[in-house]
């Protein structure tokens, strides 16, 4: 994929070629004269074969051939600017098609060492990271020595990529926009549209929320109290707290932390809270069962079975029943297991995603009825993942040997709260399995 490709937006693919050609044998129309440095000249020309850069030495660099240029809506535009901020002006070809008002760009960087131009070509991997698949509606961002690319998707806000280009043509994604995400690792928290910043290794360093309406960017504290930090670091705890029911404005995300602002208070204007503390399944477990639940979630306990015990004691049978008087929709729901060990270990482990389903009042459904198996050196359980066979890990990674009480938990963005299982089963790790459950 090259810069002028954007399969997601256009049925047409615009391709920027970078071929060195011999000097033209026929006259070509000069469109843009180039003076990249003192005493060095070149120019952009339109020839029968397409648009070319006539290099300082007289050779030609194909910008785009006539066949592809025939798809342009009007003539292309040529922009001279220092796109990689190395002190030497480069040249860009911009073009439109009838499919979109966006202008696609191909960049050609001047190389002072060879006194010639070369096309800027992104790798497929880098192009796939970009919102727009390439460079569109390019603008210079002088303060960051970078370029801003943006494109439009029907019915959505423009998508933005901020790219920095080194003198050798290496490209780095500094920042890009991301739309609202309805489902992610923290149940019941939607991340608003935001600008995501990266380091040079491609790691996310900060996610800054794009200002929007108060509803989309607001968050209600879900637990009794949360400590407030001055930075996205557990070592920066302050004396302040936020309490359950408070509504605050989301400002940014950094790792497992969220920055917020609270209006109308002289004592607490804002800070950071730990999302792990807000949504941790272990700490939020209601051991006293005081919170009403809309469904009943129960495990079958085979602990006292005498018939083939090494099979049945490892059988995971899970039933769900809607005990409310309204439909319960499980959409994008996840099944977790809460492990409580005699050795003090307490950890929640995601088992798998649940298939979407709606339970009518009084309706029951078997979610699982499969044994734990050993495949290779891993203990897994079979799961039908929307028609595909899957074998997720049953026990958390790196769990220590011992005896554990296990309780199921269901989370989901459409649920009013976590669904905790009514009972526990006890299992040993590693489990003693029947021979039929040990697979190569």
Q: Is 237 exposed, middle or buried (0-12, 13-18, 19+ CB in 10 A)?
A: middle
Domains assigned to the chain: 20-178 (no CATH), 212-279 (2.30.30.40), 295-439 (2.60.40)
Confidence grade of residue 203 (pLDDT, cut at 50, 70, 90)? very high
Min mean pLDDT across 36-45, 166-175, 183-192 is at 183-192
Structure confidence by residue, pLDDT tens digits, 50-108: 999 999 999 999 999 888 888 888 899 999 999 999 999 999 999 988 777 899 999 99
Min mean pLDDT across 96-100, 122-126, 175-179 is at 96-100
> What 3-state DSSP class applies to 275?
helix
Average pLDDT over residues 198-222: 86
Residue 90: what pLDDT? 97
Residues 262, 263, 269, CA angle at the centre, nearest 5°? 55
Of 143, 123, 142, the C-alpha closest to 133 is 123
Residue listed under structure tokens 């979610």: 367
> What 3-state DSSP class applies to 73?
coil
Residue 68: what pLDDT? 85
Of 280, 419, 297, 403, the C-alpha closest to 345 is 403
**Chain centre to alpha carbon of residue 216:** 19
Residues 396, 398, 401, CA angle at the centre, nearest 5°? 90
Give CA–CA dist 219/258, Å, rounded.
10
H-helix or E-strand containing 95?
strand 90-97
Is 359 in contact with 322 (CB distance < 8 Å)?
A: yes
Residue 9: what pLDDT? 30
Is 139 in contact with 148 (CB distance < 8 Å)?
A: yes
Residue 73: what pLDDT? 87
Structure confidence by residue, pLDDT tens digits, 11-44: 333 444 444 545 544 457 899 999 999 999 999 9
Q: Phi and psi dihedrals of 97, rounded to 5? A: -125, 170
Cα-based distances in Å from 148 to 69, 78, 192, 196: 24, 17, 21, 14
Residue 53: what pLDDT? 96
Is 190 in contact with 209 (CB distance < 8 Å)?
A: no
Q: What percent of the chain has pLDDT over 70?
A: 88
Q: Is the pLDDT of residue 283 over 80?
A: no
Cβ count near 421 (within 10 Å): 21
> Looking at the chain, how many residues does it have?
440
> What 3-state DSSP class applies to 143?
helix
For the chain, first and last CA: distance in Å?
42
Structure confidence by residue, pLDDT tens digits, 349-358: 999 999 899 9
Long-range contacts of residues 160-166, Cβ cutoff 8 Å, at least 24 apart: 160/131, 160/195, 161/130, 161/131, 161/132, 163/130, 163/135, 165/83, 165/84, 165/85, 165/107, 165/109, 165/120, 166/84
Is 118 in contact with 61 (CB distance < 8 Å)?
A: yes
Confidence grade of residue 253 (pLDDT, cut at 50, 70, 90)? very high
Q: Is the pLDDT of residue 291 over 70?
A: no
Give CA–CA dist 348/285, Å, rounded.
10
Torsion (CA) 322, 327, 329, 334 in degrees, nearest 10: -20
- The answer to whether the Cα torsion of 193, 195, 199, 200 is positive or negative is positive
Is 136 in contact with 103 (CB distance < 8 Å)?
A: yes
Q: What is the mean pLDDT of the chain?
A: 87
Average pLDDT over residues 144-172: 91
Give CA–CA dist 372/382, Å, rounded.
8
Residue 97: what pLDDT? 83
Residue 281: what pLDDT? 81
Q: Is the pLDDT of residue 156 over 60?
A: yes
Of 371, 368, 364, 302, the C-alpha closest to 335 is 368
H-helix or E-strand containing 310?
helix 309-312
Min mean pLDDT across 123-137, 206-220, 242-256, 278-292 is at 278-292
Helix and strand totals (H; E) in the chain: 4, 36
Min mean pLDDT across 142-151, 274-283, 315-324 is at 274-283
Residue 412: what pLDDT? 81
Residue 292: what pLDDT? 62
Confidence grade of residue 155 (pLDDT, cut at 50, 70, 90)? low
């Amino acid at each position: 994929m090259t810069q002028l490709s954007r399969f997601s937006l256009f049925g047409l693919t615009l391709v920027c070629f970078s071929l060195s050609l011999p000097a033209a044998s026929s006259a070509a129309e000069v469109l843009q004269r180039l003076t990249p440095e003192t005493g060095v000249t070149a120019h952009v020309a339109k020839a029968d074969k397409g648009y070319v850069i006539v290099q300082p030495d007289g050779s030609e660099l194909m910008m785009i051939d006539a066949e592809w240029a025939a798809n342009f809506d009007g003539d292309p535009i040529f922009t001279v600017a220092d796109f990689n901020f190395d002190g030497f002006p480069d040249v860009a070809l911009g073009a439109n098609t009838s499919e979109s008002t966006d202008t696609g760009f191909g960049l050609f960087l001047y190389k002072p060492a060879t006194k010639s131009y070369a096309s800027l070509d992104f790798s497929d991997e880098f192009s796939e990271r970009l919102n727009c698949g390439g460079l569109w509606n390019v603008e210079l961002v002088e303060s960051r020595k970078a370029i801003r690319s943006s494109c439009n998707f029907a019915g959505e806000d423009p998508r933005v990529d901020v790219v920095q280009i080194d003198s050798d043509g290496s490209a780095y994604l500094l920042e890009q926009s991301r739309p609202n995400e309805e489902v992610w690792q923290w149940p019941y928290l939607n991340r608003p549209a935001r600008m995501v910043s990266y380091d040079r290794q491609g790691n996310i360093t900060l996610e800054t929320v794009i200002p929007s309406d108060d509803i989309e960017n607001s968050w209600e504290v879900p637990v009794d109290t949360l400590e407030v930090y001055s930075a996205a670091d557990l070592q920066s705890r302050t004396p302040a707290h936020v309490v359950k029911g408070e509504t605050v404005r989301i400002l940014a995300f950094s790792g497992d932390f969220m920055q917020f602002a609270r209006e109308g208070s002289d004592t607490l204007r804002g800070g950071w809270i730990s999302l792990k503390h807000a949504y941790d399944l272990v700490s939020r477990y209601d051991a006293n069962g005081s919170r009403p639940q809309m469904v009943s979630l129960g495990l079958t306990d085979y602990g006292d079975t005498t018939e083939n015990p090494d099979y049945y004691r490892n059988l995971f049978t899970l039933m769900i029943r809607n005990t409310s008087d309204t439909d319960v929709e499980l959409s994008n729901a996840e099944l977790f297991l809460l492990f409580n060990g005699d050795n003090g270990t307490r950890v929640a482990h995601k088992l798998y995603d649940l298939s979407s389903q709606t339970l009518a009042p009084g309706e029951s459904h078997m979610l699982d009825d499969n044994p734990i198996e050993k495949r290779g050196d891993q203990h897994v359980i079979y799961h039908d993942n929307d028609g595909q066979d899957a074998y997720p890990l049953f026990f958390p990674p790196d769990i220590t040997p011992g005896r554990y009480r296990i309780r199921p938990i269901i989370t989901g963005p459409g649920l009013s709260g976590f669904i905790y299982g009514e009972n526990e089963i006890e299992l040993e790790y590693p489990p003693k399995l029947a021979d039929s459950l040990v697979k190569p």
